[in-house]
C-alpha cells in the first residue's frame, strides 16, 4: 500500500523552538508517563532550546491549577534519584495550560494564540481514539498544522480494521504519513531495540535464525495487576485488542523480519509489514483450536488476596471480556515454515514478566549419554522486570563421567552498561522531536495487524463462548498449557 504525502515535510530536525502540545494533559497517561519522561528529557538536555509544553484539557484550570496537578499526580512518578527542587522548578517553568473541549472551535483559537507561529509543533493525542479525527480537523481549521508539525497517536488506534482505517484516513487529510507517529511504548524499550543489533549485528545468530534450526518462539507479556481504574476501557477492549494487536505483534515482527537493507525507517517497516502479511489467517475452526481466552477469578498474587474480574469496580455483570490470551501463530514463508509462534498475555498472572524465548532445535543425534534428557538451547530475551539476554546451553558437571547440566550465559544489560538508561516513553518522545520514525508504526503496518486479528475477534463473537476461568496468581487457563503441548512443547516457566 502506497501512502501519499499530502503535505511536503521539512528536514527531520528543523532548527525551530519546540511547542509540545499535550491533549489529555490532565489524564492518567500524561501524569504517570508523559510528564515524567519529559522531565527526564529536559533534565538531560534533550529538549530543544526555548521549549514550551502546553497541556490541554476540559477542566477550567489556570496555569497554577495545572502545576498543582503536576505536583500531586506526576511528580511522584519521577525517578527519585533525578528529582531535585531546582530541576522540577525549571521544568514546570516550561508549562502553560489551555482549556480545550475537543469539538469547540473557539477553544482552538485560544490555543493558536498561545502557540508560537515559528515553532515545531508536536501534538500528542493522549485521549480516547474517537477524538483523534475531531482534534486533527480542528487543528487544521485553526491554522496550527504546517509542514513542520507532527502528531503522536496513542493506542488503541481503533477497535477493528474499519475504525483504524477511518482514523488513519481522517488524520491523513491534514498530516503527511511522515508527520504521523503511532506510538507503541514497547518499541522504545532498550532490549527491544537491542534485538535488532542482536539479530543483525552478530554473525553467530544469522545462519541459525530460521527453520529448521529454531524449533519454536514464545512471546509472553504477563502482568500481576488487575484492570484497576481502567475497567470501563478494558471491558470494551479486552486483552487481544489491548496487547496482542500492537505490543505482541510488534515483538513478533522484530523477531521474524528479514534483514532490512538499512536502518532507514521505511526499510525497517517494510520488512515488518512483510511479516504481518505472511501471518496465516485463521479460519473459525483454527481459532477454536489455536487460541485460548481467559478471565481471572479471585485468587492470590504475591501472597495477597485479590478479586476476580467480575468483582472489579465498573465491570458489567456477566462480562465476556478476556483478560488473558494465548495463541499459536504461523508465518507462511520459507524462513519460518512449520515453526510455531506462541503469543501469550494476561492480567493477574503469577509474576510480572515480558520475554521472548527462542528455542533452538535439538541435535539430530547426541553422543552424550543423558544429552537427550535436557531441554534444548534457548535464547531468552527479557524485557521486564529486568533487561537481560540469556543463552541457555549444556555444560559438563564437574567430576568424573559426562553428566551434563543446563547453564546460562547471562548478559545483564543494566550491569553491562552502567550509564543511565532512558525509559521507553522518554526515548520515543526524543525520537518524535528529532524526526526519527523507525520505532513508530506506519499506516499499512497497523492495518495489516488489524486484518490478522479481526477474524479471531469475529470467531470469538460468533461462538458465544465465555472466556475460560483461571485463578488469579497462576499463568492462565490449563488450556494454554495444552495449546503448546500439542507441539510437544512447554511454556518457558514449566521447562
Catalytic residues: 247
Q: What angle do CA 178, 182, 188 make, to 5 degrees?
A: 110
Beta-bridge partners for 62 = none
Residue 368, burial from CB neighbour count under 10 angstroms (0-12, 13-18, 19+): middle
Cβ–Cβ under 8 Å, residues 20 and 52 = yes
User: Three-state SS for 275?
Assistant: helix
Q: How far apart are the first and last CA of the chain?
A: 42
Assigned C-alpha cell, 472:
488469579
Cβ–Cβ under 8 Å, residues 254 and 337 = no
Query: What stretch of H or E contains 112?
Result: helix 105-114
For cell 527453520, name the residue.
211
> Can you point out the beta strands (E) in 281-399?
291-297, 299-301, 304-306, 324-329, 341-346, 353-360, 378-384, 388-396
- Burial call 330-359: b when 16+ CB within 10 Å, e when fewer: bbeeeebeebbbbbbbbbbbbeebbbbbbb
For cell 485560544, name the residue.
110
Cβ–Cβ under 8 Å, residues 68 and 30 = no
Beta-bridge partners for 297 = 471
Cβ–Cβ under 8 Å, residues 94 and 52 = yes
Cα–Cα distance for residue pair 432/30, rounded to 1 Å? 16
Question: CA 205: distance to chain centroid?
Answer: 25
DSSP letter assigned to residue 43: H
For 334, list phi and psi in degrees, rounded to 5: -65, -35
Query: What stretch of H or E contains 412?
Result: strand 404-412
Residues shown for the chain? 495
For cell 515524567, name the residue.
36
Amino acid at each position: 500500500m502506497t501512502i501519499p504525502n499530502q503535505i511536503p515535510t521539512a528536514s527531520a530536525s528543523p532548527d525551530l523552538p519546540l511547542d509540545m502540545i499535550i491533549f489529555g494533559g490532565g489524564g492518567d497517561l500524561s501524569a504517570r508517563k508523559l510528564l515524567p519522561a519529559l522531565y527526564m528529557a529536559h533534565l538531560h538536555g534533550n529538549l530543544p532550546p526555548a521549549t514550551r509544553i502546553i497541556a490541554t484539557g476540559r477542566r477550567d484550570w489556570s496555569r497554577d491549577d495545572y502545576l498543582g496537578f503536576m505536583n500531586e499526580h506526576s511528580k511522584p512518578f519521577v525517578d527519585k534519584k533525578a528529582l531535585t527542587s531546582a530541576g522540577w522548578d525549571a521544568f514546570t517553568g516550561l508549562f502553560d495550560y489551555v482549556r480545550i473541549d475537543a469539538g469547540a472551535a473557539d477553544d482552538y483559537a485560544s490555543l493558536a494564540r498561545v502557540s508560537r507561529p515559528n515553532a515545531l509543533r508536536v501534538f500528542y493525542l493522549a485521549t480516547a481514539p474517537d477524538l483523534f479525527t475531531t482534534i486533527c480537523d480542528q487543528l487544521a481549521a485553526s491554522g496550527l498544522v504546517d509542514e513542520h508539525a507532527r502528531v503522536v497517536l496513542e493506542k488503541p488506534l481503533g477497535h477493528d480494521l474499519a475504525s483504524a482505517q477511518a482514523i488513519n484516513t481522517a488524520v491523513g487529510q491534514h498530516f503527511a504519513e511522515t508527520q504521523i507517529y503511532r506510538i507503541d511504548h514497547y518499541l522504545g524499550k532498550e532490549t527491544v531495540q537491542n534485538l535488532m543489533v542482536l539479530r543483525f549485528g552478530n554473525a553467530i545468530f544469522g545462519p541459525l535464525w530460521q527453520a529448521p534450526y529454531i524449533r519454536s518462539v514464545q512471546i509472553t507479556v504477563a502482568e500481576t495487576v488487575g484492570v484497576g481504574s481502567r475497567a470501563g476501557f478494558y471491558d470494551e477492549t479486552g486483552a487481544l485488542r489491548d496487547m496482542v494487536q500492537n505490543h505482541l505483534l510488534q515483538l513478533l515482527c522484530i523477531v521474524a523480519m528479514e534483514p532490512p537493507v538499512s536502518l532507514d525507517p521505511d526499510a525497517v517497516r517494510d520488512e515488518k509489514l512483510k511479516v504481518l502479511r505472511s501471518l496465516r489467517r485463521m479460519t473459525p475452526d483454527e481459532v477454536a483450536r489455536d487460541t485460548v481466552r481467559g478471565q481471572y477469578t479471585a485468587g492470590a498474587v504475591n501472597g495477597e488476596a485479590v478479586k476476580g474480574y467480575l468483582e472489579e469496580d465498573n465491570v458489567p455483570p456477566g462480562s465476556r471480556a478476556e483478560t488473558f490470551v494465548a495463541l499459536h501463530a504461523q508465518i507462511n514463508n520459507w524462513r519460518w515454515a512449520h515453526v510455531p509462534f506462541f503469543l501469550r498475555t494476561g492480567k493477574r498472572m503469577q509474576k510480572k514478566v515480558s520475554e521472548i524465548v527462542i528455542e533452538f532445535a535439538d541435535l539430530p543425534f547426541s553422543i552424550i549419554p543423558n544429552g537427550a534428557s535436557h531441554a534444548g538451547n534457548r535464547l531468552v530475551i527479557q524485557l521486564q522486570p529486568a533487561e537481560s539476554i540469556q543463552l541457555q546451553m549444556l555444560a559438563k558437571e564437574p567430576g568424573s563421567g559426562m553428566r551434563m547440566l543446563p547453564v546460562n550465559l547471562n548478559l545483564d544489560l543494566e550491569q553491562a552498561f552502567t550509564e543511565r538508561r532512558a525509559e521507553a516513553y522518554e526515548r520515543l518522545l526524543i525520537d518524535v522531536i528529532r524526526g526519527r520514525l523507525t520505532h513508530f508504526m506506519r499506516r499499512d503496518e497497523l492495518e495489516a495487524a488489524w486484518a490478522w486479528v479481526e477474524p479471531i475477534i469475529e470467531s470469538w463473537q460468533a461462538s458465544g463462548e465465555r472466556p475460560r476461568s483461571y485463578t488469579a496468581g497462576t499463568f492462565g487457563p490449563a488450556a494454554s498449557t495444552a495449546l503448546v503441548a500439542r507441539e510437544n512443547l512447554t511454556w518457558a516457566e514449566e521447562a
